[in-house]
Structure 1
Amino acid sequence: MAEHLLVTTTAPDRETANRLAASAVQAKLAATAQVHGPVTSFFWHLGVQGEGEEWLASFKTTGDRYTALEAHLIAEHTWQNPEVTAIALARGSAGYLHWLETATTPES
């Protein structure tokens, strides 16, 4: 059985998050992507505690496509060291998971 993942990244603005979401789906690196926001983030950066507004982009993909999706998000992101994290989907409806696998299969 294929591994199914929820991958997330954050972006500085809606336009960047939308661009990352659209390009990942267009490349079949993710079956779907959603952009949420704005969200308020609290973080450490360069030794300083910070706070800022960000946009969250989430992607559904397979374990087989994760490495390519991660590389794409890092290459296309405006930040030097963007967050790219993934968690395994423990369950999902059979039809949805089949669709997710089909939608992320590269074209021959």
Structure 2
Amino acid sequence: MADYLNVSTATATREQAVALAQSAVRARLAAGAQIIGPVTSVFWHGGEFGTGEEYQLLLKTTDARYPELEAHLVEHHPWDNPEVVGTVIETAALPYLDWIERTLAD
């Protein structure tokens, strides 16, 4: 059985998040994606403290597809050094996990 992941990144605009989601799902690197936002982010970047609005993108994939998904997100992301984090799905409904597996296999 494959390991399944939630992969997250963030963008400055909803349009950027939608474009990344569409390209990753069309390429079958992710079975699906949700866009949440705007969310407020507080961070250090380039040595400066900042606060801003972002859109969080959550993608569903397998550990086998993660390297390709990460490369795709980094290549197509508008930021030079985007956050791309994969978190293992510890438990989930088996039909849902089967859907991820089937979708990425098509």
Taking only aligned residues, the RMSD between alpha carbons, in angstroms, comes to 0.7
Please name the residue that 1:100 is paired with.
Answer: 100
**Structure 1 position 32 matched with structure 2 position 32:** yes
> Structure 1 unaligned runs (5+)?
none
Please name the residue that 2:21 is paired with.
Answer: 21
After the TM superposition, list the runs of 4 or more consecutive aligned residues in structure 1 that deviate by more than 4 angstroms. none
Deviation track 1:61-101 (CA, whole Å, cap 9, x = no partner) reads: 00000000000000000000000001000011111101101
Q: How many residues align?
A: 106
SS in 1 for 2:2: coil
Please name the residue that 1:67 is paired with.
Answer: 67
TM-score normalized by the length of structure 2: 0.98
> Structure 2 unaligned runs (5+)?
none
Deviation track 1:24-59 (CA, whole Å, cap 9, x = no partner) reads: 000000000001100010000011111111000000
Please name the residue that 1:51 is paired with.
Answer: 51
TM-score normalized by the length of structure 1: 0.96
Residues of 2 paired with 1:41 and 1:70: CA distance?
A: 21
What is the identity, as a one-letter code, of the residue corresponding to 1:42? V
Please name the residue that 2:83 is paired with.
Answer: 83
Percent of residue pairs bearing the same amino acid type? 49
